[in-house]
Chains A and B, each alone.
Chain A
């Protein structure tokens, strides 16, 4: 079975500061891992994904995430926050080579960026 835990339902940073959004997963098989962003009243946009290639994954808008198997983590980072990064972020896991390919989501982290 797979599950995702996102630590911190709300994170607030100052503009220009480091963004760190935490995600830990549980999976009985090698996982695919995803980060999605959702702006108010909009759909989901894929930021980046880990699909068993390089452990450091670079995504859109300057975000990146590192897959750490030993820590079962896939934290999302961005060196310098921008006001436009304010949104809700979701981590998700899917079993690699699974029979259903279904995504299991975390509960989300709402990122606020202060001027």
Chain B
């Protein structure tokens, strides 16, 4: 079982470039999330989705956009990358009960 798959795993961007991180889950989960992890700050929620076609802002949404056109995919976009967006990004998903949350393996992004 694939679970939650993130692509790419590693990426280096120049300031001002754009990119999209893809999260795919094969568990038919309703809820999907994007987090960023920075030293000393834990994981902070960027955006989330409670179902296909829906998105909502989390704790740190500025500079990011998301889309959930298909239930199994949750895309995170950076329109104009900034060095402050250098981070490790984690995608997660869960079903309606919310008692088991599955994480992807992370995407390491460096903006120079």
Contact = CB atoms under 8 A, between A and B. Distances in A.
Interface of A: 9, 32, 34, 42-44, 49, 51, 90, 92, 94-108
A94 B90 contact: no
A94 B40 contact: no
A38 to B, nearest CB: 8
Given A51-B99, A102-B45, 11 more contacts: A9-B40, A34-B101, A42-B105, A43-B105, A49-B100, A92-B43, A101-B101, A102-B48, A104-B45, A105-B35, A107-B40
A2 B41 CA distance: 16
Interface of B: 31, 33, 35, 40-45, 48, 50, 56, 58, 90, 92, 94, 96-101, 103-106
Nearest to A91: B42
B58 A102 contact: yes
The prevalent SS among residues of A at the interface is loop
Nearest to B97: A101
A107 B40 CA distance: 6
Given A100-B48, A101-B31, A101-B94, A107 B41 contact: yes
Contacts of A96: 98
6 contacts: A44-B43, A92-B43, A105-B42, A105-B44, A107-B40, A107-B41
B99 A32 contact: yes
B101 to A, nearest CB: 6
A49 B105 CA distance: 20
A18 to B, nearest CB: 24
A18 B35 CA distance: 32
A34 B104 CA distance: 17
A99 B51 CA distance: 11
A107 B90 contact: no
A108 B106 contact: no
A43 B104 contact: yes
